[in-house]
Structure 1
């Protein structure tokens, strides 16, 4: 069931897995992606490992507040954006307030990893552990290949079927070449996301936030919570150098890279990633006890 919270002056749609007595885990999705793009099974497995999982729609996607009045932003270098990643990080902190979470384990993918980084920098006491997956500290670290850029900037879909076809085309380019592409899942999620809300201009505003938010390397260097960085060695949207730069910036961060993994989370890698997240949380508990 989708719930709504008022946070940071906007409305945020979210849902939960697990029970409130379990460890709080906030999942932050990437550019133009909705909470449904976190697989239900992925969330259920995390809940089975003792997490109270919350996934949510970032601003400008899904059922959360859209900034439609801002229109389509200018993406040229140096242009102002309607908001920044720091504002989206404040959304996450506001959602945690609404949930009654003083702090949480935070896991973000792609742009969600950038938001998680910004949250840890701005609100370090709210982040118990930081997991940054297929992300980067800066638009200049691990930039997309020409093929990925072309896929990212392909024309918006005029209808539902076209949106599904576009999703299949995009994930064929940026998905994991070492693993079979689950076309049925991609088509199902694309249709579901279209039915919940389809707003290409909102995705462009999110992209403007990424481009205008600059480099987080210096801020990441001040972090002291346990951190995990996961990246695919075959990622063409955020190349693996972005993950390496993230891990190098955060003191003590663990870096895991996977051959054949692109800009998605292949099902065969879930257990390894979840094991690493669990180990990270155990390190956090030991550090807190000390």
Structure 2
């Protein structure tokens, strides 16, 4: 594990495979850390001859956090967006896209295959649209376009997402119950939910860095970025869109909207998959990522 200074912040990353292989950059989702891309998933991709790089987004894990900026007022952010004004937020997803490009610069990577999940998919989309010469292929997983007309998350899921969790130090049992309840709710119906694996992952993330205000700033960054459909129309890299048919957080319609906005994009809707990437799907998804990467050749 190491870090680079990129786009004015410190970005913590690690890598798998040979440095001589084409790079695949894995971009994490809202409030999560790079370890959500499991070692076995990364090693499977690396075994195909690629250099795999996973990193912590700003305000997550061991990358730079922004504690001087309190969690934004979401009603004020929404009002500013509706009025066409720039919301008062420390950064948007476009800044996070610049982080990804800065990391590539710091690692002397000219072009890479981008794979993003959830919020990370939106970041990857923006890199592909704003920095087309740096992107060989794009895979957007369980993500969205920011289209305001798309269905919202299930009401109970949104309530669980935004409800403050007990502090893991003062009430570890309550914190775990809250976090595991949410993870179970957004998981799909088609694959076993491994509670012990999720528990271990949640505790590992908490030990690495616990910053609920960073989660709030990332949500504000999504809201402040707004509708990306016009930007997606500029993407020329071979694109794969993967979405779970059971996703209760980012509706399947969002994946369909993403694919429809990107010329030539392939859409893979997986029955039984929710807003999660269970181990049972690792090979299927990694096979699809590599097949899409090979289109760039």
> Normalization by structure 1: what TM-score?
0.95
Counterpart for residue 271 of structure 1: 283
Report the Cα offset of residue 142 of structure 1.
4.2
Residue 158 (structure 1) shift? 1.1
> 1: distance between equivalents of 2:12 and 2:223?
25
1:78 aligns with 2:87: no
> Which residue matches 1:101?
109
- 5 Å-filtered alignment, 1:219-238, equals 219-238=231-250
Deviation track 1:76-97 (CA, whole Å, cap 9, x = no partner) reads: 1134222100000000000000
Superposed CA offset, 1:167-219 (max 9, x none): 20111111112111111111001100111110000000000000110111111
Give the paired residue count: 284
The corresponding residue for 1:195 is 207
Q: CA RMSD, aligned part only?
A: 1.1
Distance 1:3 1:142 in 2: 39
Matches within 5 A, 1:1-290: 2-76=1-75, 77-79=78-80, 80=87, 81-138=89-146, 140=148, 141-160=150-169, 161=172, 162-285=174-297
Distance in 1 (alpha carbons) for counterparts of 2:6 and 2:117: 21
Q: Which moved more, 1:192-201 or 1:69-78?
A: 69-78
Q: Distance in 2 between matches of 1:129 and 1:45?
A: 18
Checking the alignment, whether the CA contact within 8 Å between 1:163 and 1:194 is kept in structure 2 is no
Cα shift at 1:139: 5.4
Residues 124, 142 of structure 1: CA spacing in aligned structure 2 closer, same or farther, 3 A cutoff?
farther
CA contact (8 A) 2:142 2:275 kept: yes
Shift of 1:121: 1.2
Q: Point out the more displaced range, 163-172 or 28-37.
A: 163-172
C-alpha distance in 2, partners of 1:67/1:168?
A: 27
DSSP-derived class of the 1:5 partner: strand
Q: Deviations over 1:80-133 (max 9, x none)?
A: 222100000000000000010011000000000000011111111111100000
| Secondary structure class of the residue paired with 1:69 | coil
Q: Which runs of 5+ in 2 are unaligned?
A: 81-86
1: CA distance, partners of 2:15 / 2:151: 32
Partners of 2:36 and 2:179 in 1: CA distance: 12
Distance in 2 separating the partners of 1:269 and 1:232: 11
> Aligned with 2:139: secondary structure?
strand
- Following TM superposition, the consecutive aligned residue runs of length 4 or more in structure 1 with deviations greater than 6 angstroms are none
Rounded to whole Å, the distance in 2 between the matches of 1:112 and 1:22 is: 23
Aligned to 2:84: none
> 1:165: how far off?
2.4
